[in-house]
Amino acid sequence: MKYQFRLSCLLLAALLSACSSAPKQKAVQQPQTQIMPVEPIETELSANDYLEKAKQANPDRRNLYLFKAAEMWLQQQQCDKSIKLVDILRPELYVPLDISQANLIEAECLFDMGFFEQSNDLTQTITGQMGLNKRLYLLKAKLLEHQLNWIEAANAWQKVSNYDQNANQHIWPLLKKLSLNQLEQAESKYPSLDAWLELTIITRKYSADAYRMAQALSVWKNRYPNHPAINSMPSDLDKALHTDKYQPQTVAVLLPLSGRLQLQGEALKQGILAAYFEHENARPEVSFIDSNLMTESDMTAIATQYDFIVGPLEKDRIEELLKKVPADKPVLALNRINTGHMIPTQNASTDTPQPSQHYYFALAPEDEANQLVEHLLDKGYQHPVVISSANKSMQRMLSTFVQTWQQQTQYTPNSVTFESSGSMRSGIANLLEVNQSRSRIRQIENLYPNEVHAFYRNRQDVDAIVVFANAEETELLVPIIEASISPFSEVIPVYGSSRSYTQVLSNNSLRDLRNLTFIDMPWMLPNHPWQQLKHTFTRLWPAHTDSLQRLFAMGYDAYSVIPHLKHMAILPELRVNGLTGQISLDDNDILHQRFAMGKVEQEQVIRVEMD
């Protein structure tokens, strides 16, 4: 009688609104029972129907129906009710399978409700039980994806595929997000993913060579004849395999070879020529055209006379050209424009919309800021501050860094902008709250003029300092930052962009910049693989500036990347290593460079391996 009364109370509580509080109950020891095999139950039953069945069921069947009610509410996205029922039911559970099932239902609900951390914590309490493994691996896979842990998520989906072959479709997109280095490191750690990892590595190594890719895939198929991807090759990989690379016979290069941008145009031209002579096979006919002298009729003629167009550099000229060029005419513009791929284009043969073959390549300050955000987050920094000059490019970096950091962490970094060396010093002191510390010291000294021995203190929450300034300004900034750090505080790392570094730094300058870490093109750092090309460049242009040298590298990469563009558009995870960095293509057909990293140590610049 007591047992029946208790059961009725429990079911009544579950039927009440989820907002009501659970009734207080005395713990009653129940005999440990084993869950019986699940018998087919009508799918049209509601949660309330299962609760009614639980009222009439014997103790061996009661929990089954209560779990079914909780899961039905889960499916109906009424997780508040589901969690409520599980919480009421949990004190009655003693069998490990029952406890794991209750925890799994609640963890699934927490995930659906957006409480990812709590859901992840609860999964750690769930032991592998027959009948629950598929759901547990599925939940873990989703959690790992939310944490951006691509390789572990792929491994979890592989475990789900043991129960459901459809899970295989999730593995390929996740592995595509990894770099070649990450894929190769994962091979020894995730043996269950060997075949998938090898398949993904093939796409990296032979992205622009369909013939060699086909050969490598044939070997892969022989090694893994029963792999799920054999009969259902990922659509993007299949498309890349059957896509030919660009092999233009005629190339028009549109550059400002006169006027105010002539020096920049000449640097780009020399870089393109260097790459042209470096690639001996299938050299097309290349024509260099002064974009400052082009008329509208010239643009129309260029669109029809050449297989591929590189340039222009000026944004307004790019917009004018793309209005004349059909979408299926390949163009690699040497700048980005606000409207990007949205510019209306003509179609050469039909009114049917065609995928655009217009690409955009620029050395954008925003890319450097985003890379610094990514690096600092990977290093575990949480509260950086930013010091920037008032220069327009530096302000673009500052704005991008703050906005991206806020999006990633919900925290807005403090920043300061300086316009002169005087405002530089006061700005840093205010940013690190050194002035407040000095003011407090003076107040105490006024009270006890002969008895105070004090050191100022900087704010303690700052764990990294980011500098957006040119080389001369950074040379002044770093010593000021160092002097603003209390001797009792830990050293705060200082990071800079490519603008903070120049190859003509003296030993004194390098001494002032000690411990500065910065990002820059591999071409500008020591120990890169293009030493012979560097020697030739320096011999031919001994009076070059850093900016012109970077434009030379951009021109070299612009020509070198042409054969890869089609495959990069199909497989966005592909990377091409160039003088400017590791080049990738996004969904808007914009090329981005991932720069290398350098550090000033012992009056010299060393190359830093990035994670």
pLDDT for 71 equals: 72
pLDDT averaged per 10 residues, the chain (length 611): 45 44 36 41 61 65 69 70 74 77 81 86 77 86 91 93 88 88 90 91 76 82 85 77 87 96 95 89 90 92 94 94 92 83 44 75 95 93 93 95 93 90 76 54 48 48 90 89 72 92 82 90 91 88 87 96 90 87 92 94 83 53
Nearest to 200 by CA among 177, 224, 227, 223: 177
> Helices in 224-364 by DSSP H: which ranges?
228-231, 235-241, 262-278, 296-305, 315-324
The helix, strand and coil proportions of the chain, stated in percent and rounded to the nearest 5, come to 55, 10, 35
The answer for residues whose C-beta is within 8 angstroms of residue 270's C-beta and 6 or more apart is 541, 552, 555
pLDDT for 44 equals: 60
Nearest to 391 by CA among 365, 360, 425, 422: 365
E strand map for 440-514 = 464-468, 494-496
Task: Give the whole-angstrom CA distance, residue 184 versus residue 198.
Answer: 9
3-state secondary structure of 176: coil
Q: Are 82 and 70 in contact (CB under 8 A)?
A: yes
User: DSSP secondary-structure letter at 383?
Assistant: -
Bridge-partner residues for 464, per DSSP? Answer: 384
Domains, the chain, in order of start with CATH, read 2-19+31-146 (1.25.40.10), 150-241 (1.25.40.650), 365-521+595-608 (3.40.50.2300)
Q: What is the pTM of this model?
A: 0.73
**What is the residue whose two structure tokens read 């590791």?**
582
Task: Give the whole-angstrom CA distance, residue 445 versus residue 367.
Answer: 48
pLDDT for 250 equals: 96
Nearest to 85 by CA among 50, 45, 129: 50
For 286, the enclosing helix (H) or strand (E) is strand 285-290
Structure token pair of residue 566: 């089609």
Radius of gyration of the chain (CA): 32
Q: Are 123 and 108 in contact (CB under 8 A)?
A: no
Structure token pair of residue 595: 């720069």
CA distances from 165 to 75, 107, 587 (A): 22, 24, 29
Task: Give the whole-angstrom CA distance, residue 333 versus residue 561.
Answer: 13
Q: Is the peptide bond before 326 cis (omega within 30 degrees of 0)?
A: no
Q: Are 178 and 150 in contact (CB under 8 A)?
A: yes
Angle made by CA atoms 366, 358, 564, in degrees to the nearest 5: 85
Q: Are 490 and 411 in contact (CB under 8 A)?
A: no
3-state secondary structure of 333: strand
Nearest to 602 by CA among 493, 515, 480, 491: 515
User: DSSP secondary-structure letter at 416?
Assistant: E
pLDDT for 256 equals: 97
Task: Give the whole-angstrom CA distance, residue 206 versus residue 189.
Answer: 24
Structure token pair of residue 474: 């950074």
For 385, the enclosing helix (H) or strand (E) is strand 384-389
**What is the residue whose two structure tokens read 């009661």?**
62
pLDDT for 83 equals: 74
pLDDT for 424 equals: 80
Q: Are 307 and 326 in contact (CB under 8 A)?
A: no
**What is the residue whose two structure tokens read 């020096």?**
263
Angle made by CA atoms 591, 592, 593, in degrees to the nearest 5: 130
CA distances from 352 to 113, 186, 343 (A): 43, 44, 16
